[in-house]
Amino acid sequence: MATLIHNSTPTSRTPTFKTTGCSTYRNTTEDFFYSNNPEELAYSHTADAGKWLCRETVRGTVQLYTWHHNKVSVNGVNKSINSTILIYNPNSFAVDITISNQGVTSMSYNTTGFSDYNAWENYVNSSSSVITVQSGQYYNIFNRQIPYNYVFGVVAKIQIKRSGTSTVAGVTLFDIAYVSNSAGATACAASTDPLRRRGNGNGFYQTLQFGTLEFANSTPQAYKFAASVEGVFGGDDCSDIIDESGQASGLLEGGFGQIFVVRLPIKNNFSTAKTFKIFLGSIGGPSFPFAYLGSDLAKYGQTDAFKYIDIVNLGSIGSGETLTEPFSIVIPASAATPYIIGAYPV
């Protein structure tokens, strides 16, 4: 039986990269509210200056993911800001919003290896709560104060239904930052980076079916993913984000905010049974290996490029046998892609 590995140390490896036999599927019936543009916030991006960071209409099951850096200054004075996700109910009826998973980040930009993997852990392990928003009303969630030069974000999953029923409903979500006036926003902040996204994506829950890795020697084998050019899925494993303002739409390189279900078949072509381990890392820059399997979760801090973390112990596989043990991973903020997943015999 497969188990997660909690005490792995970064290891240099030179895997043989495979490129064939892979397919991927995303549940595109779910929405994905994504806000990472602008990432570095100035006063001109705040509600005090008349701007929201992202606004989208969403319905049903929705993943929320935001990531920003507070660099707001007013007349030369560095400012703490308030961050909130604002819900507006445009319907003629009340809606119930179940927050089934949630985690937040707020940490100094000067922290070595800053990321949101702790928020992801809270997301996986959180309990649900329900709020009701009346017709025509606004409601704030994840409202908190962010010190100057802090990175911050939200990862959460919500379900929106007509109050008291199982009927799917929609609302408008705003990602807002403000110093003192939360109600001043009338338009979207200008995009600051053509490669960063904001908007509503076509799903977030992604199955990665990798080709079978066959082993007759000890050389590690691996795949690249979460990158359109080098990844084996050609970017099909990354959500397409459509920005209501028309400024920051495009493919979500890196797959941040998404959940990946990994299916990596391993075949033992040795003449005897062998134990196999699966590893994660990146060749694009740092990685933050993170996986969960059943009720167990393993997470690691910043791992340098071309270093790999053993994350899953598959146990013994008999001679001539093939084993696939599905597990889930995410790619935390500040990681770089293409990400690498691979295996080797112990």
The pLDDT value given to residue 106: 97
Statement to judge: residues 73 and 9 lie in one domain: no
The pLDDT value given to residue 219: 98
For residue range 179-225, what is the model confidence (pLDDT) as tens digits? Answer: 999 999 999 999 999 999 999 999 999 999 999 999 999 999 999 99
Count of domains for the chain: 2
H or E stretch covering 119: helix 117-125
Statement to judge: residues 146 and 190 lie in one domain: yes
The pLDDT value given to residue 262: 98
Among 174, 200, 226, identify where a domain stops.
200
CA atoms within 13 A on the CB side of 286: 13
Residue with tokens 């025509």: 136
Residue 244: which domain range?
3-27+204-345
Statement to judge: residues 219 and 192 lie in one domain: no
The pLDDT value given to residue 330: 98
The pLDDT value given to residue 113: 93
Under-70 pLDDT residues of the chain: none
Statement to judge: residues 118 and 239 lie in one domain: no
The pLDDT value given to residue 305: 98
CA proximity to 218, closest of 159, 153, 131, 277: 277
For residue range 132-167, what is the model confidence (pLDDT) as tens digits? Answer: 999 999 999 999 999 999 999 999 999 999 999 999
The pLDDT value given to residue 260: 98
Statement to judge: residues 68 and 117 lie in one domain: yes
The pLDDT value given to residue 280: 98
Among 161, 176, 200, identify where a domain stops.
200
Statement to judge: residues 232 and 132 lie in one domain: no
Q: What does residue 172 show for φ and ψ, rounded to 5 degrees?
A: -105, 130
The pLDDT value given to residue 117: 97
Statement to judge: residues 105 and 131 lie in one domain: yes
Statement to judge: residues 210 and 194 lie in one domain: no
The pLDDT value given to residue 236: 98
For the entire predicted model, the pTM comes to: 0.97
